[in-house]
Chain A
Amino acid sequence: MASLSKRSLHIESSGQLCIYCGACVGICPLNCIYLDETRITFDEKVCTRCEICVKACPVGAIEIG
């Protein structure tokens, strides 16, 4: 479980880098990432900032902090 402080960090997918491939959506263990054609959104209340999506992203588009 991520710490509370980590949980307060912002998570987003950079629109400049993201290729909207859905890799992060499929691997998210909490099913809290949504892909809407050309927009990726995170449910920041559910997300624990486990960073699995950061690894799964083939182009390094997901940033936490």
Chain B
Amino acid sequence: MPGDRTTDVLVIGAGPAGSMTAKWAAKHGAEVLMIEKRQEIGSPVRCGEGMSKEWLRDVGITPGRWVNVEVEGARIFSPNETVFEINEKHAGNEVGYVVERDGFDKQLAIDAANAGAEIELKTAATGILKENGRVVGARVKQFGETFDIRAKVTVGADGFESQVGRWAGLPTNLQLRDMDTCLQYRMTNVDSDVRYCDFYLGQVAPGGYVWVFPKGDRLANVGIGVQVSQIRTMAEAKNYLDRWIDKHPAYAKGKKIDMVGGGVSISKPLARTVMDGLMLVGDAARMIDPLTGGGIANGCIAGKICGEVAAHAVEIGDASESVLSAYEKGWRAKLEEKLYRNWLAKEKLVTLSDATFDKIIDALSGLKLEKLSVHNILKAVHAKYPEVTKEFEAFL
């Protein structure tokens, strides 16, 4: 086809995981082309914009203007709004920054470009190229023109709505119970506490939570995630969120200036994320933490490994599954145990009644836990409400 191109590494999707992959592959000497279907990297934002921060340095990201607020901790609200406060030390630095995601994504794309990666906007993958069972690139559409990009290594970093894996034959399908449907308003004139990211549990958001992440200057992201298997009527996520806001005067008086939605996977880690010529990374590889719904850190951590392995495969001229499995081993070593543990915890939490949430948070509120672990939490709850922990014996 006219306009066909070739490259060493083709990265599909310029979110954080894609940009990190592109950057680290380019840094290690590979010729990299990253394509993005949107006209602007990072926009529109589809994110609560809260993230931890301790991992940033390890993967080579320097905090920049995209940091809105540095929070001190998180507050978990039970259905009767008893509060359990987690400071950053106890949370294992789970909380940290509230960010401008569009600025963050652009920074990572700039880092990739500075490392030598090419970037093409308005370029959507419409299918995968396969020869003798191996992925050899993608068919793309750019400004109405269709052409093929042939690559030694192809990386699917196409986010929650990933199609690359499914086109290639790597199953990434989700069950209804494996997904939260999310909606968020950015609101101004609200009285949120800029020191905390707030989480509200229970039937206010079945199988998920309501979040309030402060962005400073009386601005906050107020959002909700609801497990799709618990949705009964159309637009229920929006209805739950609107009802919650109506019941909270600090937010009901606020004005909405932005509205975003999206899907979040809350599944077990995938069985397989590589095949001959292809790797999946980030939300596309279902790397979102199923308990917190956070995907940025895991996507970036895996992206660095993905880029390094892609460059290595190019260098030795072998992008077979056995070579690319170094990526699979690498990301699993760093992320899988926690993903699996948090998936187990989430599977339990989505079954709890409001009364049980109230007891758990009541037992924890006011406690000064040395270290926040599932074990320590259960011990504290057991001391006050032994009947509640019966359900959690598997975790002890």
Contact = CB atoms under 8 A, between A and B. Distances in A.
Nearest to A20: B44
B46 A21 contact: yes
A58 B183 contact: yes
A15 interface: no
Main secondary structure of the interface of B (DSSP, over half): mixed
B75 to A, nearest CB: 24
A52 B265 CA distance: 15
Contact of B263 (A22, A29, A36): A22
Contact of B163 (A31, A54, A57, A58): A31
Given A22-B159, A22-B160, A56 B38 contact: no
A35 interface: yes
B182 interface: yes
A55 B228 CA distance: 6
A35 to B, nearest CB: 6
B260 A26 contact: no
A25 interface: yes
Interface residues on A, range: 20 to 34
B176 A19 contact: no
A37 B37 contact: yes
Given A27-B176, A31-B166, A37-B38, A58 B261 contact: yes
A23 B176 contact: no
By Cβ-Cβ distance, the 4 closest A-B pairs, closest first, are: A60-B235, A21-B261, A60-B234, A25-B161
8 contacts: A23-B181, A23-B262, A27-B228, A31-B163, A36-B124, A58-B262, A59-B183, A60-B235
Interface of B: 37-39, 44, 46, 124, 159-163, 166-167, 173-174, 176, 179, 181-183, 228, 231, 234-238, 259-263, 265
